[in-house]
Structure 1
Amino acid sequence: MKTITFYFDPVSPYAYLAFEHLPEALQGLSYEVEYRPILFAALLHAIGQKGPAEIETKRQWTFRQVAWQADQLGIPLQVPAEHPFNPLPLLRLLWAAPQMPGATPNRLQCEQVFRYAWQAGGASATDPQRLQALKDALAPKQDPAGEPVKDLLRNETERVLKRGVFGVPTFELDGRLFWGLDALPMLAGQLRGDDWFAGKAWDQAGASRPGVVRRG
């Protein structure tokens, strides 16, 4: 059985939809998933890019698109009261939740956090009372505010940056990275061993080509 690594940040509506849709998208295939939370803002900072919600016209499109996609997929979605929100408490809670220090969260724990953010009727994702209730429900085995958990999140984010991850959601399978909700059909093709993925097409399509370089 192959392992899919799912890199995500609960601040991303695309990561939420991909999480919910993943079982249906890969139905009938044999796999297991390792869930690894990372800080999306750190990826953006490293590559010098703003998030979709930080550009007003792009923000409008993003939330129109995810609303339509959620409707098409039959997935409940309510945008939090503030967005982007600070996801650090949720990310640290996820790394603190597993039974063993350094272990990754399971699907149920990730589901609780995603649905806390995206199925709460538009409530604030940073409300202290709601955060405390979520913490009580997850019953983390480590202190989410402790340095070991902070280091886990920081180290994982730095590791995936070096790996070539530039956005969320990203899926890793067989050493290849698949970015975005719309990459799920490609991920399924890789998992099935479709001819396109078995030949040279992957490397040829991603080969560097000369072009205009923007300066300044």
Structure 2
Amino acid sequence: MSKELTFYFDFSSAYSYIAQKTVEEAFANTGVTVKWQPILLGIIFRENGWSPVTPDTPKGKYTFCDVARYARAEKLVFKLPKVFPYNSMLAARVFYTLPEATAVLFAKAIFHAVFAEGQDAASQEVIGKLLQKLNVDAANILEKSGSDEIKAAVRSATAIALEKGVFGAPTFAIGDELFWGADRLEHAKRWCETGGW
């Protein structure tokens, strides 16, 4: 069995909101380490000449209808954020500023705030309150998140994802094998278990 799966996601991706719940459930007690890796889809889209999905297009309307159905199936509350798409850069930077275990808890809190409560997580105020709930020094973390080192970490994670061929979120990577979409998680799990087919 493969021992590590990289979970590439963007904090502004509604399907990543679904995946952040199902990925933990799928790999609980399997011995597989799930590495949470936020990236910036805006950069990936720009590199490919694409535009983000918006709720006012046919594809956007379908996407959010589909996400709402998927969320109900997974017993997740889903609410279309008031600001969408929103700039997820600050959330990604804060993630890379935190220790790994706390960063995962932060990621879950951000996803809930955005897609269950409709909050704007581009706001320092919103992120600061979430950090306070995690009992970390919000002011210190927000300050560190603006450092050159952290900015470079976000750029590097996104660049590595691009090099691997990641073009959307969520994407699950097992070595060089990619599985795109929350609905491909079971295939990713089988690949981990069998080493391929």
Class of the TM-score when normalised by the shorter of the 2 chains: 0.7 to 0.9
Q: Is the 8 A contact 1:8 1:170 kept in 2?
A: yes
Q: How many Å separate the matches in 1 of 2:42 and 2:156?
A: 14
Q: How many Å separate the matches in 2 of 1:186 and 1:180?
A: 10
Q: How many Å separate the matches in 1 of 2:56 and 2:162?
A: 23
Q: How does 1:7-156 map to 2 (within 5 A)?
A: 7-26=8-27, 29-53=30-54, 56-98=57-99, 106-120=103-117, 122-138=118-134, 139=136, 140=141, 143-156=144-157
Larger radius of gyration: 1
Q: How many Å separate the matches in 2 of 1:41 and 1:54?
A: 16
Residue identity in the other structure for 1:61: Y
> Secondary structure of 1:52's partner?
coil
Q: Is the 8 A contact 1:29 1:191 kept in 2?
A: no
Q: How many residues align?
A: 191
Q: Is the 8 A contact 1:80 1:123 kept in 2?
A: yes
Residue identity in the other structure for 1:143: K
> Secondary structure of 2:8's partner?
strand
Question: Which structure 1 residue ranges, 5 or more long, are not aligned?
Answer: 199-216
Q: How does 1:144-183 map to 2 (within 5 A)?
A: 144-183=145-184
Q: Over aligned residue pairs, what C-alpha RMSD do you find?
A: 2.3
Q: How many Å separate the matches in 1 of 2:166 and 2:32?
A: 21
TM-score (norm 1): 0.79
Q: How many Å separate the matches in 1 of 2:162 and 2:115?
A: 26
> Secondary structure of 2:47's partner?
helix
Q: Is the 8 A contact 1:4 1:32 kept in 2?
A: yes
Seq. identity, %: 27
Q: How many Å separate the matches in 2 of 1:108 and 1:23?
A: 12
In the TM superposition, what whole-angstrom CA distance separates every residue of 1:111-168 from its partner, at most 9, and x where no partner exists? 1222222222x23333443232124345339711121111110111112111111111
